[in-house]
Structure 1
Amino acid sequence: MDKTTQDKKTVEDRLIEQQEKIERRFQGIGKGKYSRILKMAKKPTGEEYTKISLIAGVGIILLGLIGFIIYYIMQIVF
């Protein structure tokens, strides 16, 4: 496209083009190398969600505790 044609496009036309680009990019999802994973994926049950949340929370607390211990040791040594 030359400059004059591009200047004459309305905002709506440019947005439609962007939308079409995005849609083309995502059409292949489920057909490529990730299709098996997407087909096997399911929504977790309440029990699974609770366990995952608990494990993630314990991990965050553990990492924070380790960081605090390192910080405390550095304050004492230096």
Structure 2
Amino acid sequence: MAENNTADKVKDGIANIGPTLRSYLRILKLARKPSRKEFMTIAKVAALGILAIGVMGFVFYVLMDIVPEYFIPVRT
């Protein structure tokens, strides 16, 4: 019974390949090359996002390195 269900899923997946590829091709036909101004805007936004994530990671690293020293007693 489970084998038949798996076979049906595989057949359905194979049957859906054609329509899926057609939809991908339709999207590629509609796509166009961005202008230099659009590209630079997208690049700046991406760079700012990467920079923001890096700064947040650095701040968390520094906090996790410095702050525990004030709350955890040092055993000697």
TM-score by length of 2: 0.58
Question: Which of 42, 50, 73 is matched with 1:52 structurally?
Answer: 42
Aligned pairs, number: 49
Structure having greater relative contact order (Cα 8 Å, sep ≥ 6)? 1
Separation in 2, partners of 1:40, 1:33 = 11
Question: Which of 46, 61, 69 is matched with 1:71 structurally?
Answer: 61
Write the letter of the residue equivalent to 2:47: G
TM superposition shift of 1:77: 2.0
Q: In the TM superposition, what whole-angstrom CA distance separates every residue of 1:17-64 from its partner, at most 9, and x where no partner exists?
A: xxxxxxxxxxx8xx5220221011111100001101100000010000
Unaligned runs of 5+ in 2: 1-17, 69-76
Task: State the 4+ residue runs in structure 1 displaced beyond 2 angstroms.
Answer: none
Separation in 2, partners of 1:45, 1:51 = 10
TM-score by length of 1: 0.57
2:23 corresponds in structure 1 to 33
Percent identity of the aligned residues?
Answer: 43
- Measured on the aligned residues, the alpha-carbon RMSD in Å equals 1.5
Separation in 2, partners of 1:42, 1:49 = 12
Bigger helix fraction: 2
